[in-house]
Structures are given as C-alpha cells and as structure tokens.
Amino acid sequence: MSQNLKIVGNALPNMPWEERPEGCHNVMWRSKKNPIIPRDLLPTSNSIFNSAVVPFRDGYAGVFRCDDTNRRMTLHVGFSDDGIKWNIDPQPLQVVGDYGYDPRVCWIDDRYYVTWCNGYHGPTIGVAWTEDFQDFHVLENAFLPYNRNGVLFPRKINGRYAMLSRPSDTGHTPFGDIFYSESPDMEFWGRHRHVMAPAPFEVSAWQCMKIGAGPVPIETSEGWLLLYHGVLRSCNGYVYSFGSALLDLDEPWRVLARSGPYLISPQMPYELMGDVPNVCFPCASLHDPETGRLAVYYGCADTVTGLCFGYIPEIIDFTKRTSIV
C-alpha cells in the first residue's frame, strides 16, 4: 500500500472504534459489544438489521430496517450520539411503498439521499431525500422491478448521479450481478453498465451465487472502495458473507481489484442463529480519512445489528493482494 493513499471524506475522529484484538490477524474484526442493536429495541420490533448510518450534526443518524412482529418490513429513523446506542423512532417512515427494507443513506452535495428496496408490484429501488431526517421527499423509483440493493455513489460521476444495483427476480433470487446506472436528475436512469458477476465456485465460493453492493462506496486514490455481500448456496440454504472491491474512479463499472477471501463471514452465534441463520449483510460504514479507520454496520442473521472494524489502507491492500480479477 502506497503511503500516498488519499481517502476522501470528512474527519470523524469520534466515530465508533475498537482496536484489533490481540492475537487477531484478520483484516476486519467484530465489536466486543455485538450485537450492538438487539432485535427488540422497539416494543414491537421482531428484528433490527440491514440498516444505514451516517454522520449527522454532532452525532449520527440512520434509517433502520425494523421488522415488526407481523414480520412486516418497515423503515425507521434513529439518532445516536456515539453510533452505538440508538434511539429509534417507533413510528415507521411513511415514504415506502408496499414495503421497504435494506436502506442505504448517502450524502450528496447538500442533502441525504435514502435508497431502499421498495415494494411496487415487486421489489425495486425507492429513492427519497431529507435534510434533517424529519421531512423526507419521495422521488421516483429508480428502476423497473425487480431490483434490490440500490447504492448511490457519494458524488456525481461524469456529471451524473450514479447508482449500483442488483437486478433480481420476485423471490429468493438465485442469481445476481452488480450493475451501474447514471441519472442526470434522479428521475430518469440509464447508461447501464455491468460491473461484476458472481465468482466461479472454484475461485471464490462464498460469492458464487449472487453478489450485491453494501455500504456507500468510499472514494480513495486507489479507486472506489466497495464492500459487497456474496452468497453461497449450501445444501442448507444461503450463506451471506462480505468482501471488498476497488472500482475505477471515473468508470466505476471497471473493477480494478476484488478480494478472493471474504472479510467477514458468519461465525458468531448471533450470526449463525436467528430469523435467517448464516447472514452477515453490510449496509453502511463510517470512516475517518485521517486514521483510515472504518466501522461497518452489518445485519446479523437477519435479526440484529453488528459492528466491525478495520483500517482502510489494510483493506485496500488486502483487496489488491488477493484479487481475483
């Protein structure tokens, strides 16, 4: 890793952080407080996971996937001083369609954009914006159904808004590539480009059935750092892990490097047991450019929310060193 690595972003010195535990040699490691958000933080929540967090004013705000005890999927706003203890509004956000899940939040220019899997005659990508996490303004769905995991880039590229997404089918989709799309106005989308397909089984099995973008990509001098989930189908169901990739800054559909190994795979009881066992699903991250620290929020077993940590330079180095591109 070059010493000249540049990481874009605002300083975030007080972001949630724990140092790598002694004896641990992994690129990323879990918070000792995991799961940081329990399934029943809300009186009527069945589970809280696959949620998005951003710096907001002096602390943090987020949009949370909170399934209720009907197991309906809804989005809720939450606030936190430290990014660990969260105050979640028990009232669901009113912007979603038939249902809303797996949100991401992305600051672009002057406002926060929320994207999520939106129920409109099937799953597609809903888009809204807010300045204060109180008033939300709904835009058009970005794409036709059936789509999931729509993730915006944190700035315009080539003068246009840019989004990654994973075209899907109507059920537990057994396939899935990541695509890139552009929009001049957040209303009409086009110039769709293929980014990545699942890896061959013999090359990297944890990502051999489908893949999808995770948190908002982080701009660095080495390219866009993208964390993404991958799925393996065992005889007992889907296993969700996540790894990393570097995308070209100007043509993000060009993959510069892509990790063969996973960064985090289900290994803790709270990842192995729950509503959907064996799921680690990242949706958001915080980072401090100065120190290179990265904190990733990820859903655990579709039940609770976990946090894990790493250093961006090390992750970039790992991505390039193990690349399967």
Looking at residues 251 to 310 of the shown chain, list those that interact with a second copy (rule: CB under 8 A).
260-262, 265-267, 269, 272-278, 302
For a second copy, the closer of residues 124 and 130 by Cβ is 124
Question: C-alpha dihedral over 73, 308, 228, 209, to 10 degrees?
Answer: -80
Beta-bridge partners for 309: 29, 295
Helix (H, G, I), strand (E, B) or coil at 118: strand
Q: Which is nearer to a second copy, 80 or 124 (CB)?
A: 124
Residue 169 binds to a second copy (criterion: CB under 8 A)? yes
Q: With binding defined as CB under 8 A, does residue 10 bind a second copy?
A: no
Of 264, 281, 315, give the one whose Cα is nearest residue 30: 264
Per-residue interface string for the shown chain with a second copy, residues 193-222, x marking contact by CB under 8 A: -x--x----xxxxx----------------
**Subset of residues 63 to 122 that bind a second copy, contact rule: CB under 8 A:** 67-73, 98-99, 119-122
Tokens standing for residue 55:
């710096």
Nearest to 178 by CA among 156, 151, 204: 151
Classified as helix, coil or strand, 88 is strand
3-state DSSP assignment of residue 145:
coil
By the rule CB under 8 A, 187 interacts with a second copy: yes
Choosing from 188, 221, 250, 321, the residue that interacts with a second copy (CB under 8 A) is: 188
CB of 84 to a second copy, least distance (A): 21
CA distances from 95 to 17, 48, 67, 138, 146 (A): 32, 19, 16, 6, 19
For the bound state, the minimum distance from the C-beta of residue 305 to a second copy, rounded and expressed in Å, comes to 16
Gyration radius of the chain over CA positions: 18
User: By rule CB under 8 A, what count of residues binds a second copy?
Assistant: 78
21 part of the interface to a second copy, by CB under 8 A: no
d(CA 298, CA 63): 13
The stretch near a second copy (CB under 8 A) out of 7-15, 51-59, 185-193, 280-288 is 185-193
Burial code of 81-112, b = ≥16 C-beta within 10 A, e = fewer? Answer: eebeebebeeebbebbbebbbbbbbbbbeeeb
Nearer to a second copy, 17 or 160 (CB): 160
- Tell me how far, at minimum, the Cβ of 197 lies from a second copy, in Å: 7
The CB density around residue 39, as the number of other CB atoms within 10 Å, is 22
Tell me if 144 contacts a second copy by CB under 8 A. yes
Of 211 and 286, the one with the shorter C-beta distance to a second copy is: 211
- If DSSP codes are grouped into helix, strand and coil, which group holds residue 61? strand
Which stretch in 53-61, 83-91, 105-113, 137-145 sits in contact with a second copy by CB under 8 A? Answer: 137-145
Region 32-51 residues binding a second copy, contact defined as CB under 8 A:
39, 43-44, 46
Q: Minimum CB separation from a second copy for residue 281, in Å? A: 12
Query: In the complex with a second copy, which residue's Cβ is closer, 125 or 286?
Result: 125
